[in-house]
């Protein structure tokens, strides 16, 4: 049942988002929106010399699912190498959220994956720029690996 | 039961969908501004077409095609009578959006030039903004928007000021799909005509809910969708004054809209078929006719009275909820049965998900009115919208669901 994913944990992450804010000198800065509901997220990632996530923050407005998801994602990714951000999967995020995806309707799964989408766009664009790509990378969201 | 009031419980029996359960609970459908449910009579009319006289219209000389054509044109006559128009002034489209696009393209492309003004309002649905933006781009025309005040009412001085700029065309919503506001379109149309503008009314949220008379309003064009008025999905209506439709170019080209085609040119068919290229959604048009019969059997005055009563009750009950922000006018004469609201820090999508679990369907989002949302300073609202099968008990269930959401969010 749906209310199962509005567990205390999700509500807590929504009420007290972790890693909330911005990082001025972040290497990766992304602004992504969910067109369905108008929710949006700004994601900031500061890398160290070894291209590990030194700091990661997000801000924006969203529903409990998307804010909790962003909070949890930032917690998971702190200290990770950029390659690990590339291989980070939707399933890892959804599992960490602890929500029963089968019970969530597809429009709400999009809420949970908004931070993921921002992450992937940010990482691909960062890596693209490093090898001199000029084109902005737009993630083909639907074609990405399924859950 | 007072005979001049409709009984939603009796009406509900005509709607097969209310037999189903959602998560084991009865369906409480409060998203009527998006689309309504269909009564058995409409579903049966569609079924009867496909089972008994399925054929293309305006073509065959055989019996089935004659019957299909008769039923199709009979539905047009019903629509015409319903809004007090002539049959030849009723064009079937896919939906209200297509009807508005038809006006924007067919009238706008031929009549607007660089620097001309188009006047809209800040409370329009995207379907009455985006087509005009496209046409403005093609022609170099500019768009002005009439703002609304804190209650969600268009600001009178601004209407006058912007009309004084001399727009060529004014296109306004009769009833807002977000704020519920019912605009005084008759007055605005009159004023628009005084400055020489063509007046278009988006009646998607009014025709299903109240008596609408195009002659009384005096507009040049009026658009609505059948599926928001118990009809099937896929049929919209454009009303247009005959002389304007006559002088306009077709919107879409193809079969049925021509009288003669040569390799180098073509002559257009008579009205309204000039604007109905290709095979129409015949069964659905016939279904819309059945929907209009159904609404007429109740009476649009009764529909409106029922909705006013429900809206009054809903506004009263919702106002009692702590931390709620309700948008739109409080004056029941100035609003339809659409209520948008926000609940403190509970995001509308979370609220809609929690209500869904109770079998309650509401809308959450920007309601295809992003400029309006920006003006309200929110990304989204929750919206409950009522119709003839809704009762006070549905509103009680909504309120209970809202309290459940408050408990989940520890409010």
> Which tokens hold the place of B77?
């006559």
Nearest chain A Cα distance for residue B350, angstroms: 6
Cβ burial of B237 (10 Å; 0-12, 13-18, 19+) is buried
Per-residue pLDDT for A142 more than 60?
Answer: no
Whether A106 and chain B come into contact, CB under 8 Å, resolves to no
**Interface touch B347/A36, C-beta < 8 Å:** no
Closest in A2, A40, A61 to B353, CB measured: A2
Query: Does the beta-carbon distance from B379 to A2 stay under 8 Å?
Result: no
CB contact under 8 A, B357 and A111: no
Using the beta-carbon criterion (under 8 Å), do A64 and B370 form an inter-chain contact?
no
pLDDT higher at B338 or A5: B338
pLDDT band at A37 (very low <50, low <70, confident <90, very high): low
Is B197 within 8 Å of B111 (Cβ atoms)?
Answer: no
Per-10-residue mean pLDDT, chain B, length 411: 80 97 96 98 98 92 94 98 98 98 98 98 97 98 97 98 98 98 98 98 98 98 98 98 96 90 91 94 98 98 98 98 96 97 91 94 91 88 97 98 94 85
Q: Which of residues 17-56 of A touch B (CB under 8 A)?
A: 36-40
Which residues in A lie closer than 8 A to residue B354 (C-beta atoms)? 2-3, 6
Are B350 and A64 a contacting pair at CB < 8 A? yes
For chain A, say whether B237 makes contact (Cβ under 8 Å).
no
Q: Do A40 and B379 touch (CB under 8 A)?
A: yes
Per-residue confidence band for A146, with pLDDT thresholds at 50, 70 and 90: low
The verdict on a CB contact (< 8 Å) between B379 and A111 is no
Kindly report each contact of residues B321-327 with a partner whose C-beta sits within 8 Å and lies 24 or more positions away, as own/partner: B321/B399, B321/B402, B321/B403, B321/B406, B322/B406, B322/B411, B323/B411, B324/B402, B327/B152, B327/B178, B327/B179, B327/B376, B327/B381
A 10 A CB-CB count for B102 gives 26
Structural domains of chain B in order of their starting residue, each with its CATH number: 8-30+299-408 (3.90.1150.10), 44-296 (3.40.640.10)
Residues in chain A: 147
Please, what's the b/e burial string for B302-331 (b: 16 or more CB within 10 A of its CB; e: otherwise)?
ebbebbbbbbeebbeebeeeeeeebbbbee
Alpha carbon distances (Å) from B182 to B15, B154, B286, B356, B372: 28, 10, 29, 29, 15
User: What's residue B32's pLDDT?
Assistant: 98
The full DSSP string for B293-306 is HHHHHH-HHHHHHH
Contact check, Cβ <8 Å, A37/B23: no
B347, B404, B407, B410: best to mutate for the A interface, most A CBs within 10 A: B347
Query: Mean of the pLDDT values across residues A60-88?
Result: 93
Measure in Å the smallest separation between the Cα of A37 and chain B Cα atoms: 5
Q: Which residues of A touch B357 (CB under 8 A)?
A: 1-3
Per the structure block, which two tokens stand in for B327? 């948008």
Residue A22 scores a pLDDT above 90: yes
- The beta-carbon neighbor of B380 closest among A11, A37, A107 is A37
Residues B276, B91 contacting (CB under 8 angstroms): yes
Catalytic residues of B: 368
pLDDT of the residue at A143 = 44
Q: How much is the pTM?
A: 0.91
SS3 A53: strand
For residues B111 and B107, what is the distance between their CA atoms, to the nearest angstrom?
6
Cβ of A62 under 8 Å from any chain B Cβ? yes
Cβ of B231 under 8 Å from any chain A Cβ? no
Chain A closest CA to B379's CA: distance in Å? 5
Count of other CB atoms within 10 angstroms of residue B61? 6
CB pairs under 8 A between A and B: 58
The partner residue sitting opposite B380, judged by closest CB among A2, A38, A65, is A38
Q: Is the peptide bond before B272 cis (omega within 30 degrees of 0)?
A: yes
User: Which pLDDT score is estimated for A9?
Assistant: 83
The per-residue pLDDT for A1 is 46
Task: For residues A122 and A145, give the distance between their C-alpha atoms in angstroms, rounded to a whole number.
Answer: 17
| Domains in chain A: ranges and CATH | 2-130 (3.90.1010.10)
* Euclidean distance between CA atoms A74 and B328, whole angstroms: 39
B370: contact with A, CB 8 A cutoff: yes
What are the chain A neighbours of B344 within 8 Å (beta carbons)? Answer: none
Which of the 8 DSSP states describes residue B105? I
Q: Do B354 and A1 touch (CB under 8 A)?
A: no
Q: Find tokens 């189903």 and name the residue.
A: B20
- Residue A61 contacts B, CB cutoff 8 Å: yes
CB B382 within 8 A of CB B363: yes
The answer to ipTM > 0.95 is: no
């Amino acid at each position: 049942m749906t209310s199962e994913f509005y567990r205390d944990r999700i509500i807590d992450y929504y009420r007290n988002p972790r890693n909330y804010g911005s990082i001025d000198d972040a290497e990766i800065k992304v602004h992504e929106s969910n067109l369905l509901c108008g929710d949006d997220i700004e994601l900031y990632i500061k890398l160290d010399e070894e291209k590990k996530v030194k700091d990661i923050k997000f801000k924006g407005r969203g529903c409990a699912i998307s804010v909790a998801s962003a909070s949890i994602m930032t917690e998971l990714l702190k200290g990770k190498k950029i390659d690990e951000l590339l291989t980070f999967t939707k399933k890892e995020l959804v599992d960490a959220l602890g929500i029963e995806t089968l019970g969530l309707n597809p429009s709400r799964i999009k809420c949970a994956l908004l931070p993921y989408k921002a992450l992937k766009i940010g990482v691909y664009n960062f890596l693209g720029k490093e090898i001199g790509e000029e084109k902005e990378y737009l993630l083909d969201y639907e074609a990405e690996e399924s859950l | 039961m007072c005979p001049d009031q409709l009984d939603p419980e009796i009406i509900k029996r005509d709607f097969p969908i209310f037999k189903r359960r959602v998560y084991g609970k009865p369906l409480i459908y409060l998203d009527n501004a998006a689309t309504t449910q269909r009564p058995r009579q409409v579903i049966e009319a569609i079924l009867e077409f496909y089972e008994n006289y399925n054929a293309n219209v305006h073509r065959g000389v055989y019996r089935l095609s004659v019957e299909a054509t008769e039923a199709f044109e009979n539905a047009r006559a019903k629509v015409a009578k319903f809004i007090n128009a002539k049959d030849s002034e009723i064009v079937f489209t896919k939906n209200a959006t297509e009807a508005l696009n038809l006006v924007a393209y067919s009238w706008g492309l031929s009549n607007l030039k660089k620097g001309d003004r188009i006047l809209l309002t800040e409370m329009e649905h995207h379907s009455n903004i985006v087509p005009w933006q496209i046409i403005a781009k093609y022609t170099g025309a500019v768009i002005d928007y009439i703002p609304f005040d804190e209650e969600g009412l268009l600001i009178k001085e601004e209407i006058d000021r912007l009309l004084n700029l001399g727009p060529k065309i004014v296109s306004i919503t009769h009833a807002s799909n977000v704020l519920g506001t019912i605009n005084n379109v008759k007055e605005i149309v009159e004023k628009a005509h005084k400055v020489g503008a063509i007046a278009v009314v988006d009646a998607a949220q009014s025709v299903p809910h109240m008596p609408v008379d195009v002659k009384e309003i005096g507009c040049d064009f009026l658009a609505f969708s059948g599926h928001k008025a118990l009809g099937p999905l896929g049929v919209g209506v454009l009303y247009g004054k005959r002389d304007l439709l006559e002088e306009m170019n077709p919107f879409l080209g193809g079969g049925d809209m021509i009288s003669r085609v040569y390799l180098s040119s073509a002559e257009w068919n008579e009205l309204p078929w000039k604007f109905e290229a290709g095979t129409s959604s015949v069964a659905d048009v016939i279904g819309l006719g059945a929907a209009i019969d159904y609404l007429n059997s109740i009476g649009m005055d009764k529909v409106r009275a029922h909705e006013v009563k429900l809206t009054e009750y809903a506004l009263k009950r919702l106002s009692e909820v702590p931390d709620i922000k309700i948008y739109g006018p409080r004056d029941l004469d100035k609003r339809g049965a659409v209520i948008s609201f926000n609940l403190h820090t509970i995001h509308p999508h979370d609220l809609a998900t929690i209500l869904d679990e109770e079998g309650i369907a509401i809308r959450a989002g920007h309601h295809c009115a992003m400029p309006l949302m920006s003006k309200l300073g929110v990304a989204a609202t929750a919206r409950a919208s009522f119709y003839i099968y809704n009762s006070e008990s549905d509103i009680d269930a909504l309120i209970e669901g809202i309290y459940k959401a408050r408990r989940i969010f520890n409010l």
